[in-house]
Amino acid sequence: MKRLVLGLATAGLALVLGTAVAVSASKKEEAALAAARTQGMAEAPAVAQAAGIACQVTDARFVGKMVDPKTKAATNFYEIDCDRGVGFVLQAPAGVKPTAFSCVEANSTQPDGKPPSLPCKLPGNANALADLAPLLTKAGVACTPDAARGIGQTAKNTFLEVSCQGGSGYVLQVDAPANPDGTAVANDCLTFDATAGNIKCTLHDAAYRLAVVDRYAAAANNGCVVKDRRYIGMSQGGSSYYEASCQDGKGYIYKVEKGQVSQTTSCEKAMALLGGCTLTDAKEAQTAQAGLYSNLSKKAGFDCQVSKYAPFPAPAGKDVVEMACANRPDGAVGIFTAKAETTQVVDCARAPIVGYRCSFSKPEASLKAVTSDLKKMGKTECEVSAVRVLGKTATGTTYLETACADGLKGYILEYKSEPLTPINAVGCAFSRDCALPGNK
């Protein structure tokens, strides 16, 4: 995670408006309020356009004027309501480009803890939280805001903190001004809890935000009563990752997309996932899991004392792992299911036939299994020295080219994959598809 250090204009609005001559609304001043809205609608749309706000002004009011006692320069202030997106307070110094602050910023408590000096008051801006919806949607997060505040602005961006129902929170980075058609990026507040910088979430503490992990654990329905929680980070694709340790000693990593758990990985299988688990004794869990895979592999007819393993993405109902073996040089891919008849362990030479490639061991260490398949097809004279997957047929079988150690032309083996079984062999002398050395 990169440290985010920005020069933010956080208090400028409050400081400038502190001495503004405001036109207040009250029952006794309805005429003044009407006049302020008439003047606002006459003047504010042009000011909004000059400030770079891309919306149609549906309501406006002239707030007041401030005259600098030293320079005598005058600054007008307006509030506008837009046809879409957030409303704004406009600061319009004479002869200078106007500045726009969203109503979320205008409604935020001042840095010294005092109430906002110029909150939005137009009826259309009464629900500034709801007006954030288009920006949150554009940022790709599922969030119903329950609170928000302005953090500050740079020359190009506005930064808002948004707290969501359910416990999560985000720093929302949008354009300055915050146009609904502009850019929008949301970063989890937990990211800023773990890094140094001048952007922090303050609407709630980190413990409050981390409580969302309990909701994810409940949604995963894996029996985890959460003991401890950790935010891991966000992927380039926008998915968030959380770790939970459980009361029973187990642990999990949850992948969350748009507020929903999309993947659950137990800690014993998470070694290669964003650094693995840190709240759970993953080493102990991995040792136990390796023993389990050793037993399952042996029952499937492949005697492998698993020294290390790595999971592959797998469809529901299957646990697919690459295994390195302490008792033999050749590794394998285990495809384990709840039923023994659908479980199989495939050596690394033939693993590509079922869609997997080994990284712990070289396929060459498993070529004896391919030689055995050739012999089953009556081709007894070839000791296989290399293999290459040619592709699948329309019926779902796979072709595997083989080369022979004696340099003579090899064969193309045809396999069905479940269970992995050779069903035919054709000599490369009769095929133009062979490309391994010695087969052309």
Say yes or no: 263 and 354 in one domain: no
Q: Report how far residue 88's alpha carbon sits from residue 91's, in angstroms, rounded to the nearest whole number.
A: 10
Q: Are 266 and 337 in the same domain?
A: no
In the sheet with 145-153, reading across from the earlier edge strand, the strands are: 145-153, 157-164, 169-175, 184-188
What are the DSSP E strand ranges found in 85-156?
A: 88-93, 99-102, 145-153
Does residue 112 share a domain with residue 32?
A: yes
**73 and 92 fall within a common domain:** yes
| Same domain membership, residue 21 and residue 118 | yes
Total H helices, total E strands in the chain: 9, 21
φ/ψ bin of 301: left (φ > 0), alpha (ψ from -120 to 50), beta (otherwise): left
- Phi/psi-derived region of residue 416, left when phi > 0, alpha when psi is between -120 and 50, beta in every other case: beta
Burial class (CB in 10 A: 0-12, 13-18, 19+), 310: middle
Q: What is residue 7's predicted lDDT score, i.e. its pLDDT?
A: 45
Q: Taking the chain, what is the end-to-end CA distance rounded to the nearest angstrom?
A: 51
Q: What is the pLDDT of residues 383-438, one digit of tens each?
A: 999 999 999 999 999 999 999 999 999 999 999 988 899 999 999 999 999 999 99
CA 202 to chain centre: 23
Q: Is 199 helix (H, G, I), strand (E, B) or coil?
A: coil
288: pLDDT strictly greater than 90: no
SS3 at position 121? coil
More confident residue, 266 or 47: 47
Clarify whether residues 17 and 99 are in a common domain. Answer: yes
Pair of tokens at residue 9: 């204009």
Omega cis (within 30) before 419: yes
Dihedral of CA atoms 111, 114, 116, 121 in degrees, nearest 10, equals 160
**Which tens digit of pLDDT belongs to each residue from 191-201?**
888 777 788 89
Q: With contact defined as beta carbons under 8 Å apart, do 117 and 14 qualify?
A: yes
Q: How would residue 28 be classed by pLDDT, with cut points 50, 70 and 90?
A: low
- The residue out of 321, 342, 361 marking a domain boundary is 361
The rounded percent of the chain whose pLDDT value lies above 90 is 60
Q: pLDDT band at 23, cuts 50/70/90?
A: very low
Instruction: Determine phi and psi for 362, rounding to 5 degrees.
Output: -85, 145
Write out the two tokens for 148.
């928000």
> 87: closest CA among 72, 103, 69?
103
Residues 234, 333: one domain?
no
The answer as to whether 110 is a domain residue is: yes
User: Within this chain, do residues 23 and 72 fall inside the same structural domain, yes or no?
Assistant: yes
- Residue 23 located in a structural domain: yes
The verdict on residue 57 lying in a domain is yes
| 150 found inside a domain | no
Whether the pLDDT of residue 25 is over 60: the answer is no
Does residue 22 sit in the same domain as residue 117? yes
Last-in-domain residue among 334, 361, 388: 361
Rounded CA-CA distance 160/185 in Å is 11
Q: How far is CA 253 from CA 213, 256, 275, in A?
A: 10, 10, 11
DSSP string for 43-82: HHHHHHHHHT--S-EEEEEEEEEEE-TTT--EEEEEEEEE
Q: What is the pLDDT of residue 195?
A: 76
Count other Cβ atoms within 10 Å, centred on residue 420: 19
If one compares 197 and 170, the residue with the highest pLDDT of the two is: 170
User: Could you tell me if residue 264 is inside a domain?
Assistant: yes
Residue 390 CB-density burial (10 A; 0-12 exposed, 13-18 middle, 19+ buried): middle
Question: What is the pLDDT averaged over residues 95-101?
Answer: 92
Examine residue 59 and state whether it is found in any structural domain, yes or no: yes
Which residue range is the domain that position 62 belongs to? 11-124
Domain-terminating residue out of 305, 327, 361: 361
Is 187 contained in some domain?
A: no
Contact 366, 347 (CB under 8 A): yes
Tell me the two tokens of residue 233.
């980070």
Q: Are residues 232 and 311 in the same domain?
A: no
Residue that the structure tokens 């606002």 belong to = 40
* Alpha carbons 13 and 177: distance in angstroms, whole number: 14
Mean pLDDT over 313-334 rounds to 90
User: SS in 3 state form for 297-314?
Assistant: HHHCCCCCCEEEEEECCC
* 365-384: pLDDT as tens digits: 899 999 999 999 999 999 99
The number of domains in the chain is 4
Q: What is the pLDDT of residue 185?
A: 92
Residue 59 confidence (pLDDT): 96
47 and 29, same structural domain? yes
- The pTM for the full model equals 0.61
Q: Pick the range with the lowest mean pLDDT from 18-22, 291-295, 420-424.
A: 18-22
For residue 417, list its beta bridge partners. Answer: 420
Mapping DSSP to helix (H, G, I), strand (E, B) and coil, where does residue 266 land?
strand
With b for 16 or more beta-carbon neighbours within 10 A and e for fewer, the 255-290 pattern comes to bbeebebeebbbbbbbbebeebbebbebeebbeebb
Q: What is the mean pLDDT of the chain?
A: 87
Maximum Cα–Cα distance across the chain: 107
Residues 3-17 pLDDT 10s: 344 445 444 444 444
18 & 52 share domain: yes
Instruction: Return the pLDDT at 26.
Output: 56
Q: Is 30 domain-assigned?
A: yes
Q: Is residue 92's pLDDT more than 70?
A: yes
